[in-house]
Amino acid sequence: MPEPENVKELMCFICMVQYLSKFLPRLSDVIEPLRRLTDKDKQWQWSNSHQKIVDEIKQLVTKTPVLAYYDPTSEVTIQCDASQTGLGATLLQRGRPVAFSSRALTPTEQRYAQIEKETLAIVHACTKFDQYLYGKANIQVESDHKPLESIFKKDILKSPKRLQRMLLFLQKYDLKVKFKKGTEMYIADTLSRAFLTNNPETKNCEDVFTMRETLVTRT
């Protein structure tokens, strides 16, 4: 996660942390100096002390008691989001994160329609968390793109070709897509904007979908 460069980016980070604070009460005290940077009329001045706090928070949210072990007997929720240039996803059980994931969009994927990017975010989550999701019943998918609810309910053949390929790939998972307001998608939204830039999955992901499109075009 890169160093915040303005109040908006810092607020995005703080909102994600606040969502997780119920699993780590002292998080509120740790983050207090960062809150002061968001005060009205406060001049933006990022210092080494602020960066140390961010680094400490990164350690806290990627360890117990915030990060949980996967429980095969509990229900699973995956929260997915797509920004203009990245994808973010987290696997949750009882509201606690079990795993985080993010990656950059390839140049080809950046030209996708937004509904295609949001569907691709679900594909990314299912691929990344396959060992937790495959064979699991009633997987709840949270997305801030409301049209996806109807897309996943209607006949695949009624969707555009690129969406069809993604939806066919997702057929092996028992997914229940549910709309959730973007203002409540704290974790996935933050990850989609602060994605990994050196993730090997990014290179490989002009993957099956883009490769097929290239073959079709050449044919």
Helix pair 208-218, 161-169: axis angle to 10 deg: 140
Model pLDDT, residue 199: 58
Per the domain annotation, does 72 fall within a domain? no
CATH number at residue 185: 3.30.420.10
pLDDT on residue 202: 53
Question: pLDDT value at position 214?
Answer: 44
Per-residue pLDDT of the chain (219 residues; tens, 9 = 90+): 788 889 988 998 998 888 888 888 788 888 999 999 998 888 898 999 999 999 999 888 888 888 999 999 999 999 999 999 999 999 999 999 999 999 999 999 999 999 999 999 999 999 999 999 999 999 999 999 999 999 999 899 888 899 999 999 999 999 999 999 988 888 999 999 888 776 555 545 545 555 455 444 444
Residue 32: domain span: 7-61
> Phi/psi at 198 (nearest 5 deg)?
-110, 25
Q: Are residues 117 and 30 part of one domain?
A: no
Q: In the chain, which ranges are continuous DSSP H helix?
A: 7-20, 27-36, 48-61, 107-110, 114-128, 130-133, 147-151, 161-169, 186-193, 200-204, 208-218
Question: Is residue 214, in this structure, part of any structural domain at all?
Answer: yes
In a domain, 69, yes or no: no
- The reply to whether 71 falls in a domain is no
Cα 209 to the center of its chain, rounded Å: 20
Q: Is 95 left (phi over 0), alpha (psi -120 to 50) or beta?
A: left
Tokens, residue 91:
């696997």
| Exposure letters 7-23 (e unless 16+ CB within 10 A, then b) | eebbeebbbbbebbbeb
**The whole model's pTM is what?**
0.85
Domain presence at residue 162:
yes
Paired sense of beta strands 175-179 and 139-143, if any? parallel
Whether 194 is covered by a domain: the verdict is yes
Q: Does 53 lie in the same domain as 133?
A: no
Report d(CA 187, CA 88) in Å as an integer.
Answer: 8
Is 202 in the same domain as 137?
Answer: yes
Q: Does residue 147 share a domain with residue 92?
A: yes
**Coil, strand or helix: which one is 97?**
strand
Q: Reduce the DSSP state of residue 50 to 3 states and report it.
A: helix
Residue 191 sits in the same domain as residue 113:
yes
* pLDDT at residue 201, as a whole number: 56
- pLDDT value at position 18? 87
Residues 53 and 91 in one domain: no
pLDDT value at residue 200:
53
Pair 182, 144: CB distance under 8 Å: yes
Nearest to 195 by CA among 122, 98, 59, 87: 87
Query: Do residue 205 and residue 149 come from a single domain?
Result: yes
Q: Is position 88 within any domain?
A: yes
Examine the domain organization and report whether 51 and 96 are in the same domain: no
Q: Total domain count for the chain?
A: 2
